[in-house]
Chain A
């Protein structure tokens, strides 16, 4: 049995060849042209290369279209689903712990408690219900973790610079809040800075509050790890570079290490203020 891309592929079916190229894998290369001729996939080497060319071009063109067209959409759904799963799991957990507390002693609080309950063997009909309910909550937590893994795998190819700079999950949140990578790329950096702080922004715009310094980017260490009086500067610098990263990802797709180094420098400079002891 061979791992070749053309294994089991009808030579006259270019779509099947393309699927072989896209989805196959092998631990090691082999003399594929010779194998193909021996196995009757091609009459000779030059026919093999013709078929290979057709299959690689079709496979690659399709995959590019798919990845370019849909990656940010997938990330948007995945990050929203992850948040839904987490919120719902917490809600279920509250009920589980509350209920289990009337049936068992020593129920740990929070999500640990839920996992603990889910592992128990019920002995009464009431216990059966609460253990079953806890199992649903645990499944939902596992699903949240799977969604996070999916985002961590997908974000770096959808938006390499943004994912490197913000981390995959925050990158996905920014894309989701902006409504797509293209919208994020076109947004001014001041908008990126306050994405996720819409309520505070509208309070400010209607004259009820000062302007928000940061939105969801607060979750990044560059912002929350900077002392409060410098957070506005850090958030502005971070948002500026995130904006540039989103534009590179949307318009070129190259990974540019320079941008990341510039941001690191800038954040260090801002944090050095604290060490200089100025107020």
Chain B
């Protein structure tokens, strides 16, 4: 599509302002319209911010997705609205309680209480050759997590990653942290595009990459 948005994601007016939206059951009190579309708040979603900034995510809609760092399911609920089978991995029990609620309203969302740093704990559930690996994990070693999870990604699949500078090192300059993460990733991934998400998320870098 010319606007770079996948099928199933549209810009629609809410209160006179064009916003990203997907069609599905509301999850977090977001505005909805009468056709069942609900606004996707880029300020609460790094992937939303990446789409809003027109990064070339390679998403067309209908993909099989592995989402790491699903938290309470805010973003992954939108992903499940436009994607195909969507595996949502999150480590902390408290947010997963909400994530399960989000999954109950959807046919294609599979919640998993697992640790993204340990892929063998979910490789018996998540299928091989997913089209898209979304990563939003607030842990140290974000590049390592991406590399360990490369095994799930199809050869022509995409890694969509939001790096949080403060998770790596709260005292370092974000730019230095991003350089380190990108250079670590380059051992296993070809970086296609990077963009600062600061308009929506302070000290975050969006990365689009594909496996080498």
Please give the residue numbers on chain A whose beta carbons come within 8 Å of chain B beta carbons, in ascending order.
3-5, 20-21, 24-33, 49-50, 52-53, 56-57, 59-61, 63-64, 67-68, 71, 157, 160, 251-255, 257-258, 260-261
B95 touches A254 (CB 8 A): yes
Q: Which residues of B contact A67 (CB under 8 A)?
A: 93, 113
Please give the residue numbers on chain B whose beta carbons come within 8 Å of chain A beta carbons, in ascending order.
71, 85, 91-97, 99-100, 103-104, 107-113, 120-129, 138-139, 151-152, 166-167, 170-171
B103 touches A31 (CB 8 A): no
B170 touches A24 (CB 8 A): no
B124 touches A52 (CB 8 A): no
Q: Do A64 and B112 form a contact, CB below 8 Å, given A25-B123, A157-B91, A255-B138?
A: no
Distance between Cα atoms of A24 and B119 in the complex (Å):
12
Q: Say which residue of B95, B110, B128, B166 sits within 8 Å of A28 (CB atoms).
A: B128
Q: Which residues of B contact A52 (CB under 8 A)?
A: 110, 125
B100 touches A4 (CB 8 A): no
Distance between Cα atoms of A151 and B99 in the complex (Å):
27
B100 touches A61 (CB 8 A): yes
B124 touches A56 (CB 8 A): no
Q: Do A5 and B95 form a contact, CB below 8 Å, given A56-B103, A255-B139?
A: no
Q: Say which residue of B94, B109, B124 sits within 8 Å of A68 (CB atoms).
A: B94
Distance between Cα atoms of A157 and B66 in the complex (Å):
22
A60 touches B123 (CB 8 A): no
Q: Which residue of B is nearest A251, CB measured? A: B94
Distance between Cα atoms of A38 and B192 in the complex (Å):
37
Q: Say which residue of A25, A252, A254 sits within 8 Å of B124 (CB atoms).
A: A25
A28 touches B170 (CB 8 A): no
Distance of B22 from chain A, by nearest CB (Å): 19
Distance of A266 from chain B, by nearest CB (Å): 13
Q: Which residue of A is nearest B90, CB measured? A: A60
Distance between Cα atoms of A165 and B170 in the complex (Å):
15
B121 touches A25 (CB 8 A): yes
Q: Which residue of B is nearest A61, CB measured? A: B100
B113 touches A27 (CB 8 A): no
Distance of A12 from chain B, by nearest CB (Å): 19
A254 touches B138 (CB 8 A): yes
Q: Which residue of A is nearest B170, CB measured? A: A261
Q: Which residues of A contact B110 (CB under 8 A)?
A: 52-53, 56-57
Distance between Cα atoms of A30 and B107 in the complex (Å):
22
Q: Say which residue of A32, A160, A257 sits within 8 Å of B166 (CB atoms).
A: A257
Q: Which residues of B contact A157 (CB under 8 A)?
A: 91-93
Q: Say which residue of B85, B113, B151, B167 sits within 8 Å of A60 (CB atoms).
A: B113
Q: Which residues of B contact A255 (CB under 8 A)?
A: 92, 138-139
Q: A29-B123, A257-B167 are in contact. List 9 more A-B contacts (CB 8 A).
A: A31-B127, A32-B125, A53-B110, A57-B104, A59-B112, A160-B92, A251-B94, A253-B92, A257-B170
Q: Say which residue of A26, A56, A261 sits within 8 Å of B112 (CB atoms).
A: A56
Q: Do A254 and B92 form a contact, CB below 8 Å, given A49-B108, A64-B97, A68-B97?
A: yes
**The 9 nearest A-B residue pairs measured at CB:** A253-B94, A261-B170, A26-B124, A29-B128, A26-B123, A24-B124, A253-B92, A67-B93, A56-B110
B138 touches A64 (CB 8 A): no
Q: Which residue of A is nearest B87, CB measured? A: A56
A56 touches B125 (CB 8 A): yes
